A = this chain, B = another copy of it.
Amino acid sequence: MASAAEKRCERLEEASARAVLAGADAVLFDCDGVLWRGEAAVPGAPETLRLLEAAGPEGKRLCYVTNNSSRTRLAYTEKLKRLGFPPAAPRQVFGSAHCAARYLSHALPPGGSAYVLGGAALSTELQAAGVAHLGVGPAPPPDSAHFGSRAPLDADVRAVLVGYDEHFSYGKLCLALRYLLRGDCLLAATNRDHRLPLEGGSAVPGTGCLVKAVETAAEREAFIIGKPSQYMFECVASEFDIDPARTIMVGDRLDTDILMGNNCGLTTLLTLTGVSTLEEVQGHMESDCPERKKLVPDYYVDSIADLLPALKA
């Protein structure tokens, strides 16, 4: 792995791919835009992962690292199976919902619970981790006695957790602020993604928009669980015996996947089947800004299926 200043985003050809893969014991994959788009697998991606898992004398450990907080670990294993990827156990999946639950299970004081802006998957993962929580689902409208500015507060709440929440509302924002004003209340968020791209070039607002709203009200910064936060890699490393110097992070976003990989000392591989482009990489490489240099990956491929020749050879 080159140091940040030297990364050059080289195209991974068959020979260099063989060398890079020989130096790796583990490969971490972002999912959407890398393995699939919507409900369609990236062509050749399932076969690539099957061969990776069997490559070399001991195979590679595969893990799935995603900022999406609206699916459980189990749901990811089911999607991998449905799209023809090699079978995965839930413990190979590191979604921001699971990792947020892991964080709160350690960070909350005994008896403490979390006020959650988020959906059913986040609630499921919190429950699985034994984290008491409230707030998931629709909030009362402004004309209700239980509206956020009037609702009674729960005495046990010691954290506000912000995830993807289709029921996000001003009333929920009021409640979040009121909990945070009590002082001994953590503020955490699953991720800062601005947008979730839809097929056809449209997009919906990402969790990062909701995080900004809460942070602005609370006048403090949230602890971020998802990429580029190193916390996500710490979760992987605490579950598996992972050597960063022998681990590859594969992703389609420079500002999340590649930045986390670079910050954690992993070899980083950009795939062009998702959000980020080579033009953006070029801009970062030519910049004098050290922060932007951190967004440059070691390597790139057009698609992870480009690894097939090296794996079949």
Contacts and interface: CB of A to CB of B under 8 A. Distances in A.
A69 to B, nearest CB: 14
A173 interface: yes
Given A142-B167, A169-B168, A212-B212, A217 B194 contact: yes
A125 interface: no
Contacts of A147: 166
Interface string A135-155: 000100110000111000000
B213 A217 contact: no
A177 interface: yes
A147 B173 CA distance: 20
Contacts of A195: 177, 217, 219
A220 to B, nearest CB: 11
Contacts of A149: 204
Interface string A40-78: 000000000000000000000000000000000000000
Q: On chain A, which size bracket covers the interface?
A: 35 or more
A217 to B, nearest CB: 4
A311 B157 CA distance: 52
Which DSSP category, helix, strand, loop or mixed, fits chain A's interface? mixed
Given A170-B165, A177-B204, A214 B219 contact: no
Contacts of A138: 141
A238 interface: no
A205 B174 contact: yes
Given A138-B141, A169-B169, A205 B217 contact: yes
Given A138-B141, A217-B195, A177 B203 contact: yes
A171 B167 CA distance: 8
A197 to B, nearest CB: 11
A269 interface: no
Interface string A244-264: 000000000000000000000
B217 A209 contact: yes
A171 B165 CA distance: 10
A292 B254 CA distance: 34
A299 B209 CA distance: 39
Output the residue of A147, A149, A213 with the most chain B CB within 10 A.
A213
Given A169-B169, A177-B195, A206-B217, 13 more contacts: A138-B141, A147-B166, A148-B204, A165-B170, A167-B169, A167-B170, A168-B169, A168-B173, A169-B170, A174-B205, A177-B204, A181-B203, A212-B213
6 contacts: A141-B167, A149-B204, A165-B170, A177-B204, A194-B219, A209-B214
